[in-house]
Amino acid sequence: MSDPQNPNIEKRSTLQWSLYQRENFWKPNTGEVPPFNTDLTIIQEPGKLEELAKEKLTQGGWFYASSNAGQSYTHLANRQAFFRHRIIPRQLVDTNLRDTTTTIFGHKVSAPIGFAPIGINKIYHPLGELPVAAVAKELNLPYCLSTAGSTPIEAVAEANGAGPRFYQLYMPHDDELTISLLERAHKSGFTACILTSDTWQLGWRHDDVATGNYAFYRGIGADLGLSDPVFQKRLAEQGIDPKKDPRRAGAFWIDNVWHGRAHSWDRMPWLIETWKRISGGKPFCIKGIQSVEDAKKCVEIGCDGIVVSNHAGRQVDGAIASLDALEKIVEAVGDKTYIMYDSGIRGAADVFKAVALGAKFVFVGRLWIWGLSIMGEPGVRHVMKSLLADFDILMHVGGFQNIGQIQKDAIESYPKGYAMIAERSKL
């Protein structure tokens, strides 16, 4: 297996992530076993990683993490889209010094992989976002904190240390509160603002609705808001004491975030100018873009980047696959803005395909949520180191020396022949 004495290791510009495979193969010799199976493949049976997470989580935690909008058809489409692209391996390429690193907004990071923003981590683990931010720093992968996070911004920044981190904004209709959130993020070292544009309110998710599964209304997970000085003032104005009435306080917070009142393009110049002024010109991006027209509008108003995403199929049921949207958007504005991707990523091959189709960077979400749910910080570390090792090995045996070589000619793409019947996917 991968020789730890390989002289090329010291010459590489990045870590030999593939050694994590050898580390796990060796564990039985020392009376250990690998932490758990990270396989999410679903052919004849549920994915092992997902099933283990389900065993560990409460019903509410499982439903919130796994539920999708409506009949889960967008979620299914996301996976179907990956299946129509195939990697073309190259042989006898000297990949001994391969470089998995890339650069995002001035940060050189270990791979084109980052932690997607996911809210209320405390329903998955008591420490919430803290162990996730710590692992992100350790692996030198960007961490994105959700406004719906269950830990104060400042505490997450402390856990993330010198790691690269971005702040994902759910924009309130209270401008003073928006400004306060952005100021806290900037002061805490978050170096980009990413506005999520597809979640003014949650999509219709059957399991969550059927069980009344909304942690904020139970007084759980509102710590990011409850620690905000402007929101604390709003609580006082409403006569709400969060210690005595955490349910009412939690509801008041999330109803200011997922408020059910849409913003429009005419608010974007104010938001961009406000973030640029607060941060000294740091990048502003919009997440949730699926149409070419919206991508062009982002360029027009001065966005530094966009995230092509359908919220992993959790917002609009029956929508196009995010990967299919990526192709058209890259063709239209790929040379005009920094294009990122999320939705449906389950392994290294998916990361590779998204990059080959023009994404400069890829965010993963449910993977690390399952790891957090199973084993806390060690679980997040195991899942993400496994993904890095998988990606490193793919580049090695596939014949790719650096990220720049992962272009569209590295894959063969087939027509969109998705089944027109209702299928189900637990991925």
Q: Which residues are catalytic?
A: 311
Question: In sequence order, what are the beta bridge partners of 35?
Answer: none
Are the CB atoms for 70 and 317 separated by under 8 Å?
A: yes
Cα-atom radius of gyration of the chain, to the nearest Å? 21
CA distance 285 to 275: 11
CA distance 115 to 135: 10
- Measured CA to CA in angstroms, residue 211 lies from 67, 68, 126, 245, 326 at distances of 12, 15, 22, 22, 35
Give the residue among 288, 291, 284 at the shortest CA–CA distance from 331. 291
CA distance 64 to 351: 24
Are the CB atoms for 216 and 222 separated by under 8 Å?
A: yes
Handedness of CA 78, 371, 132, 178 (dihedral sign): positive
Q: Count the Cβ atoms, other than its own, within 10 Å of residue 147.
A: 26
Amino acid identity for residue 415 in this structure: P
